[in-house]
Amino acid sequence: MNVRLRAYIHLTLAMCIAGSAVVAGKLMVSSMPVFLAAEAGLLASLAVQVPFTFMMKRERIPADLSVHLYLVLQALFGVVLYRVFIFQGLQHTTATVGGVISSTTPLCIVLLSAIFLREHITRRTIAGAVCVVTGLATISLTPLMDATPAATGSFTGNVLILAAVVSESAFSVMSRAKRDHLSPLARTAMVSVYAALCLLPFAIHDALHYDMATLDAETLSCIAYYGVFVSFLSYLLWFKGVAVIAAGTAASFTGLIPLSSMGIAWLVLNETITSAHIAGLACVGAGIVIACIRPATSPTTSSVAV
């Protein structure tokens, strides 16, 4: 199979799993504190990752301290801040809205790539940004017309999920910018280890004030799914894909997140998809296409690593 085609498949699968993560996260935080839920998912992931990576595959831990510092940054932005923001946000808004807002990740990656990887910003990118902002405004501001506490909470949740998008985008750009010769498997495991260490003190605090006896089979299943698929498989597939595809091009694949999250939220959580959701998603989708898809006549530009 062609190398680029294989990378496209990896990125597609990674983003479909990421879309399902919004629904799994919504179910987890409905019965668990945020930090404890995030840590539980990581520990479930590490139970699979560590033996597989360092025992079965015999991957080596890098000796260069600068590599570890970079991995800590990736863990902070791509796992810790992302999960804290999105879990907090999902306590105030729906998984459907969370998935739509998450779809702005491609444009955010393109903008950050322009800043840190010196990729060129075109008029198409600016036009795409206008469409995305319009879509976000449609989704986030419509509930405020109700002038109720629930509507205000929904707006807060939307802002938190947008912060999660920025964190995830920073992680994606960093994963492309740094060439440290780590395999996707080793990088995924090391990032998860550092993320778990960062979250541990806060998770312990949550655990001291949480009755573990209230955990049910549904929550435990979500933790297992989040750990194996979201925390392990999706990151592994993303690292494999982004190692071949430029950051700006890979960004367009994150547009699959809202499609999978909205569908799963409708099936699993029985959430209602409103006309505001559809209109907002249409604007966001148009912005992604305008900003991230190059015309056939345009020359392809490559990323410049810093």
Q: How far apart are CA 180 and CA 69, in angstroms?
A: 12
State how many domains the chain has: 1
Phi first, then psi, for residue 157 (nearest 5°) are -60, -40
Give the per-residue pLDDT at 141: 66
For residue 261, being part of any structural domain is answered with yes
| DSSP 8-state assignment for residue 131 | H
Give the per-residue pLDDT at 274: 78
| DSSP 8-state assignment for residue 296 | T
Give the per-residue pLDDT at 168: 86
For residue 306, being part of any structural domain is answered with no
Q: What range defines the domain where residue 161 resides?
A: 3-292
User: DSSP readout, 9-32?
Assistant: HHHHHHHHHHHHHHHHHHHHHTTS
Give the per-residue pLDDT at 22: 82
Give the per-residue pLDDT at 205: 95
Per-block mean pLDDT, blocks of 10 residues, the chain (306 long): 85 86 87 92 90 86 86 92 90 80 77 79 75 74 58 78 90 72 83 94 94 89 90 83 74 70 83 79 76 52 32
Give the per-residue pLDDT at 177: 64
Chain centroid offset of residue 244 CA: 19
Confirm if 135 and 42 have CB atoms less than 8 A apart: no
Give the CA radius of gyration of the chain: 19
For residue 303, being part of any structural domain is answered with no
For residue 8, being part of any structural domain is answered with yes
For residue 149, being part of any structural domain is answered with yes
Q: How far apart are CA 203 and CA 199, in angstroms?
A: 6
For residue 253, being part of any structural domain is answered with yes
For residue 87, being part of any structural domain is answered with yes
pTM (global) more than 0.95: no
Give the per-residue pLDDT at 297: 47
Give the per-residue pLDDT at 112: 86
